[in-house]
């Protein structure tokens, strides 16, 4: 089995598979960027709820164990400046809670983190991608973030592009999840599609650049936390989320 080979770095930024030795730096990107500035985090007041942020850090660490997440490293300083926490999803049975439902019910300790998880569950439930595209596995780009100082330099676009490229290599068998080794390399599910929920005009433009197709668009006014629509906290600049896919 081949291993995933990152493309050559552009400038001083290199896109790599997530490595646990960068765990704390990767969490720091979430703390300084995603939890404070991402639209649904604002809508569900994750930005104001430190314990909700801790819940979602645990989600990302659990997801990172799946071996398909990506990080952006500033090579000269060995600093992580961007993350894409990705997860391989397969259909759950009609009676089974899916991964996000299990996390919401068993690991969320705040109403804020539960609200954010419910948003993800609700968005996923609106379109069954497995049935619609007749696939048994997809790679979902779950949480995408760049340190504020590195925004506007294409880091997010490269993380998404490399996540798609990794999915292509997983599909063809040229790469395996980084947590898979030895005799189990043939056992992992191979994605046939890449999906993402993009919650801001910025991430939606990233999706357009990388060639994603919009499957669904849902206004943020549809989601409510503490009696207030997400849209009231987010404001009019980012009015909706999109569910997008890219065939591989």
- pLDDT, one tens digit per residue, over 125-152 is 999 999 999 999 999 999 999 999 999 8
pLDDT of 183: 44
Q: How many CB atoms lie within 10 A of CB 62?
A: 14
pLDDT of 97: 82
Q: How many CB atoms lie within 10 A of CB 182?
A: 6
Distances (CA, A) of 208 to 23, 89, 160, 173, 204: 29, 22, 11, 27, 6
Q: Average pLDDT in the 89-96 region?
A: 85
Query: Residue 94's pLDDT band (boundaries 50, 70, 90)?
Result: confident
pLDDT of 189: 85
In this predicted structure, the answer to whether residue 241 has a pLDDT above a threshold of 70 is yes
In this predicted structure, the answer to whether residue 17 has a pLDDT above a threshold of 60 is yes
Angle, vertex CA 105, rays to CA 101 and CA 109, nearest 5: 125
CB 15 within 8 A of CB 71: yes
pLDDT of 182: 47
Q: Which domains does the chain possess?
A: 13-176+187-247 (3.40.630.30)
CB 116 within 8 A of CB 44: yes
Instruction: Report the distance separating Cα 83 and Cα 143, nearest Å.
Output: 8
In this predicted structure, the answer to whether residue 186 has a pLDDT above a threshold of 80 is no
SS (H, E, C) 12-80: CEEEEECCHHHHHHHHHHHHHHHHHHCHHHHHCCHHHCHHHHHHHHHHHHHHHCCCCCEEEEEHHHCEE
Instruction: Report the distance separating Cα 126 and Cα 164, nearest Å.
Output: 23
- DSSP per-residue string spanning 148-191: GGGTTSSHHHHHHHHHHHHHHHHHHTS---TT--GGGGGTSPPP
CB 212 within 8 A of CB 197: no
Q: What percent of the chain shows pLDDT beyond 90?
A: 86
- pLDDT, one tens digit per residue, over 45-78 is 999 999 999 999 999 999 999 999 999 999 999 9
- pLDDT, one tens digit per residue, over 157-176 is 999 999 999 999 999 999 99
Query: Residue 92's pLDDT band (boundaries 50, 70, 90)?
Result: confident
The mean of the pLDDT values for the chain is 92
Give the least confident one: 2-6, 55-59, 170-174, 184-188.
2-6
């Amino acid at each position: 089995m081949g291993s995933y080979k990152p493309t050559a770095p552009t400038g001083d930024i290199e896109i790599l598979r997530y490595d646990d030795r960068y765990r704390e730096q990767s969490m720091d990107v979430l703390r300084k960027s995603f939890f404070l500035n991402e639209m649904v985090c604002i809508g569900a007041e994750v930005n104001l709820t430190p314990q909700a942020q801790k819940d979602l850090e645990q989600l990302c660490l659990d997801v990172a164990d799946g071996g398909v997440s990506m990080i952006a490293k500033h090579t000269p300083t060995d600093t992580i400046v961007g993350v894409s926490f990705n997860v391989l999803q397969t259909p759950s049975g009609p009676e089974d809670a899916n991964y996000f439902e299990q996390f919401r019910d068993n690991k969320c300790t705040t109403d804020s983190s539960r609200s954010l998880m419910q948003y993800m569950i609700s968005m996923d439930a609106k379109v069954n991608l497995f049935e619609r595209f007749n696939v048994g596995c997809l790679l979902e780009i779950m949480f995408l973030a760049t340190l504020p100082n590195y925004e506007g330099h294409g880091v997010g676009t490269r993380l998404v592009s490399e996540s798609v490229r990794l999915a292509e290599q997983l599909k063809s068998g040229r790469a395996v999840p980084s947590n898979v080794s030895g005799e189990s390399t043939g056992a992992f599910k191979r994605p046939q599609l890449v999906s993402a929920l993009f919650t801001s005009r910025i991430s939606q433009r990233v999706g357009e650049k990388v060639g994603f197709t919009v499957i669904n668009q849902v206004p943020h006014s549809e989601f409510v936390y503490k009696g207030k629509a997400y849209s009231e906290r987010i404001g009019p600049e980012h009015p909706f989320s999109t569910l997008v896919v890219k065939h591989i």
